């Protein structure tokens, strides 16, 4: 099998109608914050137990085609001694891994950030691939104000995403490209649309420069919406219209799947917005799906509370959210479905 055949097979397995991606790739600081909210200490054992709960949820494969894992997870096992990665792969769920090393300020560019981790990336990808990973994820973040992100910040982040994607494809790994325009702030829907359009334009120009095959890229972007502190809250239909307008202008039809991040939205809000996007654009050239982290896991954490005895209800909470988002991916979600079990 050639690298091209390998990449195509992975994309086809990820981009399935009626399914999405579970993002379970929280870094150690991030999962510590999530655990702190339910008064659970972030120990290696607790993290292993929680992720085992996620990955072994019965019938998860009916709604989830792929899981993004954190590097630590690749070496962990279930209570029965089965590698967590095998618990996914045995059910046809594609394994991926977060490969970036987090963000920090972009030097001499106040207000902009950049993501680290390109050094040694090829070697790490080879190791992760030997552990079963078939795709990777890299996130760049863009804060919004009246002055930033700047042209320099947008350009530097696009170049980094493209370099990462090129290294992935060279090693037979499908890259998930995640340019996230943050929801933090009081910016308007229109301002988010302008920034998202500039970001997406730069990202695809950079991908072309680096000879990245768009047919073998999964895009994980933000939806176009107002900042969380903005006084006017847009409706799901308004968010859908703004999002689709920007993406029709910027995203080539060659991209097989756009898997939106949930980025600060509540679980129900993320599902409603995804549904509105699909309901208003049923003939999209892309699969319009989800790659949610907190919007899938928040109800799970609340049900789990670090106690094994609540594992069943926690897994049911995960399956419910996965099922509702699968319905939203088909434009068939209704708010009344939130009352179901």
**Phi, psi angles (nearest 5°) of residue 20:** -140, -165
Catalytically annotated residue among 220, 228, 269, 307? 220
Tokens of 313: 């209800």
Q: Establish whether 98 is a catalytic residue.
A: no
Q: DSSP labels for 154-181?
A: HHHHHHHHHHHHHHHHHTT-EEEEEEEE
Catalytically annotated residue among 178, 180, 228, 269? 178
Q: DSSP labels for 77-118?
A: B-TTS-BHHHHHHTTTPEEEEE----EEEPTT-TT-EEE---
Please list, in sequence order, all residues whose beta carbon lies within 8 angstroms of the beta carbon of residue 232, skipping any fewer than 6 positions away: 188, 189, 226
**Phi, psi angles (nearest 5°) of residue 269:** -65, -45
Alpha-carbon Rg for the chain, nearest whole angstrom, is 19
Q: Establish whether 140 is a catalytic residue.
A: no
Catalytic residues: 178, 220
């Amino acid at each position: 099998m050639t690298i091209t055949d390998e990449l195509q097979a992975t994309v086809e397995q990820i981009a399935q109608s009626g399914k999405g991606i579970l993002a379970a790739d929280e870094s150690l600081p991030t999962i510590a914050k999530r655990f702190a909210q339910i008064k659970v200490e972030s120990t290696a054992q607790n993290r292993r137990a929680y992720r085992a709960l996620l990955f072994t949820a019965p019938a998860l494969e009916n709604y989830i085609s792929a899981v993004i894992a954190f590097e630590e997870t690749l070496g962990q096992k279930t209570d029965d001694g089965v590698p967590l990665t095998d618990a996914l792969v045995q059910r046809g769920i594609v394994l991926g891994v977060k490969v970036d090393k987090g963000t920090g300020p972009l030097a001499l560019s106040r207000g902009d950030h950049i993501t680290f981790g390109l050094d040694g990336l090829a070697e790490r990808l080879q190791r992760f691939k030997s552990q079963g990973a078939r795709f990777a994820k890299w996130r760049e973040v863009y804060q919004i104000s009246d002055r930033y992100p700047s042209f320099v910040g947008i350009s530097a982040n696009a170049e980094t995403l493209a370099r990462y994607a090129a290294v992935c494809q060279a090693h037979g790994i499908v890259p998930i490209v995640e340019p996230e325009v943050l929801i933090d702030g009081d910016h308007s829907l229109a301002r988010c649309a302008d920034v998202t359009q500039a970001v997406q334009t730069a990202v695809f120009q950079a991908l072309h420069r680096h000879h990245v095959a768009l047919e073998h890229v999964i895009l994980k972007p933000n939806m176009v919406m107002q900042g969380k502190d903005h006084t006017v809250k847009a409706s799901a239909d308004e968010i859908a219209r703004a999002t689709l307008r920007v993406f029709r202008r910027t995203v080539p039809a060659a991209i097989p799947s756009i898997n939106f991040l949930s980025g600060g939205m509540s679980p129900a809000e993320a599902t409603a917005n995804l549904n509105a996007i699909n309901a208003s654009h049923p003939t999209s050239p892309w699969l319009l799906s989800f790659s949610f982290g907190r919007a899938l896991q928040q109800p799970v954490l609340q049900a789990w509370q670090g106690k094994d005895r609540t594992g069943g209800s926690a897994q049911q909470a995960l399956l419910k959210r996965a099922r509702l988002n699968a319905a939203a991916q088909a434009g068939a979600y209704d708010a009344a479905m939130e009352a179901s079990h």
